[in-house]
Amino acid sequence: MLGKHSIASFAVTTLLVCSTASAVNWKEQDGSPWNRKTNTGPDAAVNGFYVNLGITGARAKLTEKYPQYLVIAYVFKGTPAHGKLEVGDLIVGANGKPFTVAHTNGYGMGKFGGEGPLMAFGNALGESQIAGGKFSGKLELDVKRGEEKLKVTLSLSTRYGQYSDTYPSHCKKTDLILKELQAYIAGRQNGNGSFPGGTHVGTFAALALLASGDSRYMPNARRFAQHIARATDADFSDEFSGLTVWKHTFAGIYLAEYYLATGEKWVLKELEEVRDWLIGSQFMDPKSQLRSDRDETKKKGHVERFVGGWGHNPYYEGYGPMSCTTSQAAMALALMVRCGIEVDRKRLDMAYDFLASGTNDIGYVWYNSICAGRTSWADMGRTGSTALANYLSPYDDKKYMQRAMLSVKCIGDHPESFPDTHACPPMGMVWEALAAHINPRAFRSVMDYHKWWFTLAQCPDKTFVAQPNRDNGGSYTRAPRLFMSSVVAVIFSADRKKLHIMGTKVSIEGVNPARLSPNTRRPFELLESDRFAAAQQLLLAARKKLKANPDAPARPSKLGVTPEEDLRVIDAMLKYIDAQWQKEVAALAKFEASGDILALSEEVTELVKTFRGVKSFDEKIASYRKRLGEDPWRKEVRTGKAYLSYLGVLQRYKSPTAAKRLAKFAADNADSIYGKWAAAVAKEFNTSGTISVSSRGKPFDAM
């Protein structure tokens, strides 16, 4: 999010994100970002915005003169580095390994990433925190101080240890950090429920506490919900300047998550107000939302592309609608539907269409629909928030999930820019990480690449601090430790799946998990573990019982759930069960059409494991199972298994003999899809000596 003071730099950087050919180098002569300062907390004593070197207590910067080294710029008193390192020292190696790779130090494809002294130092620092390891509690640094070469050893605590290979899951270090961060965040809340730093900082701070699932922090979460509710309403007629869309999108996201977690009915009215404000401020007629001739000039020729989006405020203000604000608005409205709030689908779909118009062929989301680039990419904050908005879509249409997964794949394929999101790196990091979390492989890609970053961002006082990036330091100047501590806490909580933005497993339109009665709570739990048949049996029994005596006086449950509401929820859950198996069964037609009957057989087996016992599913799948037990499908399954066996031998040994056997198999089964695949693989191997197939054995050139 941007403060008003950031508008000028924001406009300049906008040009950069639309052209990855440009590079923003950290040049010592122009001072940025090293010349930025903060007046907040312990960092107010630091004379610039430098790279935090983890729990050592030292800060450093990168320079053009020494691109492969770290230049010490500040040392906090009372920390491991105090008295050991001095301002101006060059860190040229750590734990016996010299730094030889220069930092790429730029913006855009091929320029992002932590390779060089940052990653090398972070990895060494993590290694030194392993109790009983080779460098247990000792960080051995090679230092150049003027013309002198020194060996400096820093004594470190091994209390945290190293991040596990599966962090933030099954990781003692993550668990300890989360407990400390949650306590720190709760302690920073103001008396009126807000947090220092503004609405965006407060939203992530409160989400971190809400995601903890700890009853101790629910009063904090409630106070922020009440605060942000007071700060928003349905009237935007006087919102002529500022960044009011940001405030309302954050309000919508947080209040919806709070309601879904607590079921407190007072929130619904507040959500309706935020919905009305967002719908009222959506760009439907850009001409009527212009505020100056300058706006007209900037917008000329692009009127139709702005319909359906949101900008900084309800008026054009020189920028017009943007993907970042539009994706957050769509996310908020999608979450509201899960709360039972009525949202005009046409309006929400227009927002999705606006986002789609700014998404390129690989799923990367540009600043807005004006920017182009079919396969290029840059920072991923907008891509993450857009992926989440599509993932959270309440509508049963596969296009939303397809769009989400394309963007998630883009994030997983290009994790390098994670800390370098445009304008507000902490916010972008949350959306990118939570979007990646939709797919375990993409999430691992981001987390594995940036283990060094989380190691460097941790401070000796148990907090995390904003790190310099290639855009601006607004996140550092306003709330350097609270903001990043909150962001890290949210990201580290992702696998706990306490929030919908973290991938709560079951999202059923019209069903609030916090307002489940004894009739529906257990079925919902069964659906969360994919036990559809057992859930269906309980739901049908509950519905039969409720309908058996319709004239009986309504007796609401302790949560205030009436029998009528119970029936609506039961019907919604039964409809959800049918939609799940129907969607999966419909996908079988693809395999049948492709001729890949082995894959079809495997899919049927998996579906039976998941949905067996659901009556309508059993009836539908019976025809597939019957045909798989008879020729020609039974024969084709055997042929497919034989193909994979021959392919496996070739992949293992890569020998001419194995290739000949595969070629013979191809000739003997020329009419089978697997014979055709075998022929393609054998030809490729004989021509180039390579084998390129999918996990199912399908040649890539046939995909």
- Please tell me which residue, 373 or 209, carries the higher pLDDT value: 209
Mean pLDDT within 533-537: 96
Mean pLDDT within 473-493: 91
Largest CA distance in the chain: 93
Q: Is the pLDDT of residue 534 over 90?
A: yes
Domain boundaries defined on the chain? 33-155, 176-502, 513-628, 638-702
Contact 154, 72 (CB under 8 A): no
Single-letter amino acid code for the residue at 424? C
Segment holding 236, helix H or strand E: none
Superfamily of domain 33-155 in the CATH hierarchy = PDZ domain (2.30.42.10)
- Dig out the tokens for 620 from the structure: 């539908």
Sign of CA dihedral 159, 161, 163, 166: negative
Three-state SS string across 419-468, please?
HHCCCCHHHHHHHHHHHHCCCHHHHHHHHHHCHHHHHHHECCCCCECCCC
Query: What CATH number is given for 176-502 in this structure?
Result: 1.50.10.20
Which pLDDT value is given to residue 233? Answer: 81
- Dig out the tokens for 131 from the structure: 């109790």
Q: Which residues contact 495 (CB under 8 A, 6 or more apart)?
A: 168, 169, 437, 502
Which pLDDT value is given to residue 285? Answer: 76
Rounded to whole angstroms, the Cα distance separating 255 from 213 reads 16
Lowest model confidence (mean pLDDT) among 32-36, 256-260, 503-507, 519-523:
503-507
Q: Is the pLDDT of residue 554 over 60?
A: no
Rounded to whole angstroms, the Cα distance separating 476 from 185 reads 16
DSSP 79: S
Which pLDDT value is given to residue 703? Answer: 39
Question: In 587-672, where does DSSP find H-type helix?
Answer: 588-594, 597-611, 615-628, 633-653, 656-668
Question: In 473-596, where does DSSP find H-type helix?
Answer: 474-478, 480-492, 521-528, 532-548, 563-586, 588-594
Residue 423 has φ and ψ, to the nearest 5°, of 75, -55
Q: Is the pLDDT of residue 590 over 90?
A: no
Contact 207, 485 (CB under 8 A): no
Q: Identify which of 488, 601, 530, 486 has the alpha carbon closest to the alpha carbon of residue 195.
A: 486
Contact 243, 312 (CB under 8 A): yes
- Identify the band that residue 75 occupies on the pLDDT scale cut at 50, 70 and 90: very high
Rounded to whole angstroms, the Cα distance separating 106 from 481 reads 25
Rounded to whole angstroms, the Cα distance separating 641 from 625 reads 18
What is the residue-averaged pLDDT of the chain? 88
The 3-state DSSP class for residue 47 equals coil
- Identify the band that residue 289 occupies on the pLDDT scale cut at 50, 70 and 90: low
Q: Which residues contact 511 (CB under 8 A, 6 or more apart)?
A: 520, 524, 569, 572, 573, 576
- Our CA angle for 402, 404, 408, nearest 5°, is 115
Could you tell me the pTM of the whole model? Answer: 0.74
Single-letter amino acid code for the residue at 456? L
CA dihedral 23, 25, 29, 34 (to 10 degrees): 130
Percent of the chain clearing pLDDT 70 (strictly above): 87
- Dig out the tokens for 549 from the structure: 């005596």
Backbone angle region of 199, left / alpha / beta, with phi > 0 → left and psi within -120 to 50 → alpha = alpha
Rounded to whole angstroms, the Cα distance separating 308 from 283 reads 5
Is-cis flag, bond preceding 460, omega within 30?
A: no
Do domains 33-155 and 176-502 share one topology? The answer is no
- Please tell me which residue, 420 or 206, carries the higher pLDDT value: 206
- Please tell me which residue, 665 or 338, carries the higher pLDDT value: 665
